[in-house]
């Protein structure tokens, strides 16, 4: 029985693929064809008893209508003259109505069956479209429309003669003949899929769960069996349990090794699932938009978290990762707005773009020492993020665009000296970027009375090899959006670096030189700058110039 149903379902899937693509196009094309079909005109003679008023022709109201409506009114008058009561019809019309009903019922059966496969919202659209088109077409097949077509096809024949010859073939409609296919198309799918079912496909020395059909009841808990036909169940195909809005709990056997992408996509009420201990592959978007899921533990056999895996899990508070994981792909935890803390695997080498975007409850994150790059938008919009820990031994080389943008509570971050920071990395954040061993100028001697200034920040410049000049990092908390501090030139005097700088705002432009003897500049009462690291003058091959900026 299960094999027979599997064959039926395979046919349903195949037909659906064809119908879902061609059905709307076919219906639209058919409607256009019927509208455009038959442009032959019908001779309408205006009666001789028309009257004239003031020399103008006074046409009776009947003849002010369109040709089609005029002919139909004449047909209705002739039917009334022949005592036709509209309770009967003709064999041709009844046969056509039955054929249309049969086609509708088959399509309705297929589409209603596919509802249980929770494939896509387009199925519901096609169901409604099927009903609407059926009602349109069934209404078109009536005695008046049929006679109108005959009149158009025989324009030289008298309308009275055509009508009398047609209604002689009248029969009484058999409503049961049309209702039964419609009822079957509704009742049969409900009977076949009354209870949830799983269907499998062969995979290596076992089976994958290929399809799951939700029943009329019993959709809150799913238990995947350990075996099927005496063989282990090894995996779950993509989308198998997707879009099950009533699903709350899932129990998987330990034999499951693979969960493909989107397996539990949009299961908005899923609260509990324990991943199998032998799981090796977890596909992208596997739990995307599982809005009720609160915790998840990744088995140690999984070495990769694919893209968007937990995106949109807005209730997810606890994620247990392990150090066997070597790669976390982009957007893996995007929009996990309840996630407060997560310990990253120590062997990952990159935090990719959008990984923790809009994790608005995330308060702190430790960046593992092996991470060399934090990608663009990695922590974008993490409005509760207060602490980002990057050790002095970190291998970090780059922080991408908008990586910490709109992190409203991230006031400080310290990183190794040679990390490249994109100029937009901390945009719209109040972050003061510091470097390890940076505040060591002449043993912390300052030439500026910093108490006179309300704020301080840093300005970084990429110096490069010898005399390459280019701005390296413009701190988001800079002193004035209308002011700029630029590095114009690097000169080497007595084997020491000298830096030609320029300050510009709305009122003035000041050019000055910073060197070992004069490592600071008081530009005016509101702005002053000082080199942060004494060794920058002595190291000809330094890649970064950093300047402390004090301002009011």
Q: pLDDT digit string (tens) for 34-65?
A: 444 444 444 444 444 444 444 454 555 555 67
In a domain, 486, yes or no: yes
Taking alpha carbons only, the member of 336, 342, 384, 386 closest to residue 367 is: 342
Q: Is the distance from CB of 542 to CB of 467 less than 8 angstroms?
A: no
Instruction: Indicate which CATH number applies to the domain containing 495.
Output: 2.60.98
Do residues 334 and 355 make contact, with C-beta atoms less than 8 angstroms apart?
Answer: yes
User: Is residue 403, in this structure, part of any structural domain at all?
Assistant: no
Place of tokens 């830096």: 499
Number of domains in the chain: 2
Q: Is 204 exposed, middle or buried (0-12, 13-18, 19+ CB in 10 A)?
A: exposed
In 98-181, the DSSP E strands lie at 170-171
Q: What are phi and psi of 76, to 5 degrees?
A: -65, -40
Give the orientation angle of helix 122-140 with respect to helix 91-115, to 10 degrees: 170
Q: What is the pLDDT of residue 360?
A: 97
Residue 159 lies in a domain: yes
In a domain? residue 44: no
Which is more confidently placed, 537 or 39?
537
Looking at residue 54, its pLDDT comes to 46
Between CA 541 and CA 329 the distance in angstroms is 36
Residue that is written with structure tokens 């969960």 in the block: 259
DSSP readout, 454-496? SEEEEEEEE--STT--EEEEE-TT-S-TT-EEEEEEEEEETTE
Of 95, 235, 76, 74, nearest in space to 178 by CA: 95
Among candidate residues 389, 281, 266, 271, the one with its CA nearest the CA of residue 329: 281
What's this model's pTM, rounded to 2 decimal places?
A: 0.71
Domain termination residue (choose one: 177, 192, 207): 192
Answer yes or no: is 200 within a domain: no
Assess whether pLDDT exceeds 80 at residue 427: yes
Residue 275 maps to a domain: no
Asked which of 141, 165, 192 is the last residue of a domain, the reply is 192
pLDDT confidence tier of residue 231, bands split at 50, 70 and 90:
very high
Residue 310: exposure state from Cβ atoms within 10 A (0-12, 13-18, ≥19): buried
Question: Is residue 276 a part of any domain in this protein?
Answer: no
- Of residues 468 and 213, which shows the higher confidence score? 213
Task: Out of 155, 174, 192, pick the residue that ends a domain.
Answer: 192
Q: In the predicted model, is pLDDT for residue 546 greater than 90? A: no
- Report yes or no on 219 lying in a domain: no
Q: What percent of the chain has pLDDT over 90?
A: 47
Domain that includes residue 504, residue range: 437-552
pLDDT in tens, 465-478: 443 444 434 433 44
């Amino acid at each position: 029985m299960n094999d027979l149903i599997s064959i039926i379902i395979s046919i349903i899937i195949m037909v659906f693929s064809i119908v879902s693509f061609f059905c709307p196009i076919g219906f639209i094309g058919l409607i256009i064809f019927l509208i455009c079909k038959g442009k032959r005109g019908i001779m309408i003679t205006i009666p001789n008893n028309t009257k004239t008023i003031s020399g103008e022709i006074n046409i009776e109201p009947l003849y002010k209508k369109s040709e089609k409506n005029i002919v139909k009114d004449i047909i209705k008058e002739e039917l009334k003259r022949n005592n036709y009561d509209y309770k009967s019809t003709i064999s041709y019309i009844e046969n056509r109505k039955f054929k249309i009903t049969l086609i509708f019922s088959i399509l309705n059966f297929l589409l209603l069956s596919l509802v249980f496969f929770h494939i896509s919202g387009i199925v519901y659209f096609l169901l409604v479209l099927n009903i609407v088109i059926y009602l349109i077409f069934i209404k078109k097949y009536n005695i008046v429309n049929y006679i109108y077509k005959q009149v158009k096809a025989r324009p030289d024949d008298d309308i009275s003669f055509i009508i009398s010859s047609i209604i002689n073939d009248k029969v009484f409609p058999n409503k049961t003949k049309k209702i039964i296919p419609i009822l079957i198309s509704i009742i049969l799918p409900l009977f076949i899929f009354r209870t949830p079912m799983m269907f499998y496909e062969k995979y290596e020395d076992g089976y994958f769960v290929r399809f799951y059909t939700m029943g009329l009841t019993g959709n809150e808990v799913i238990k995947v069996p350990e075996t099927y036909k005496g063989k282990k169940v090894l995996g779950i195909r993509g989308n198998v349990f997707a879009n099950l809005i009533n699903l709350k709990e899932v129990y998987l056997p330990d034999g499951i090794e693979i969960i493909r992408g989107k397996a539990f996509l949009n299961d908005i009420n899923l609260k509990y699932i324990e991943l199998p201990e032998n799981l090796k592959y977890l596909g992208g978007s596997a739990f995307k938009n599982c809005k009720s899921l609160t915790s998840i533990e990744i088995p140690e056999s999984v070495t990769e978290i694919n893209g968007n895996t937990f995106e949109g899990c807005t209730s997810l508070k606890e994620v247990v990762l392990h150090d066997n994981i070597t790669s976390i792909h982009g957007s893996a935890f995007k929009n996990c707005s309840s996630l407060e803390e997560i310990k990253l695997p120590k062997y990952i080498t990159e935090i990719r773009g959008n990984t923790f975007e809009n994790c608005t409850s995330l308060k702190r994150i430790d960046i593992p020492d092996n991470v060399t790059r934090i990608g663009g938008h990695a922590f974008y919009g993490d409005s509760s993020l207060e602490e980002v820990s990057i050790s002095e031994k970190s291998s970090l080389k780059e922080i991408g665009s908008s990586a910490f943008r709109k992190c409203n509570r991230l006031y400080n971050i310290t990183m190794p000296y040679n990390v490249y920071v994109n100029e937009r990395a901390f945009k719209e954040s109040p972050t003061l970027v510091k470097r390890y061993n940076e505040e060591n100028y002449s043993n912390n001697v300052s030439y500026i009375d910093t108490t006179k200034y309300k704020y301080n920040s840093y300005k970084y410049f990429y110096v490069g090899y010898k005399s390459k000049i280019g701005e390296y990092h413009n701190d988001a908390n800079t002193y004035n959006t209308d002011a700029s501090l630029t590095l114009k030139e690097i000169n080497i005097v007595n084997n020491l670096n000298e830096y030609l700088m320029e300050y510009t705002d709305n009122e003035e432009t000041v050019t000055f030189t910073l060197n070992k003897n004069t490592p600071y500049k008081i530009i005016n009462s509101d702005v002053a700058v000082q080199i942060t690291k004494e060794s920058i003058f002595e190291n000809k091959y330094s890649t970064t110039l950093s300047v402390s900026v004090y301002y009011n």
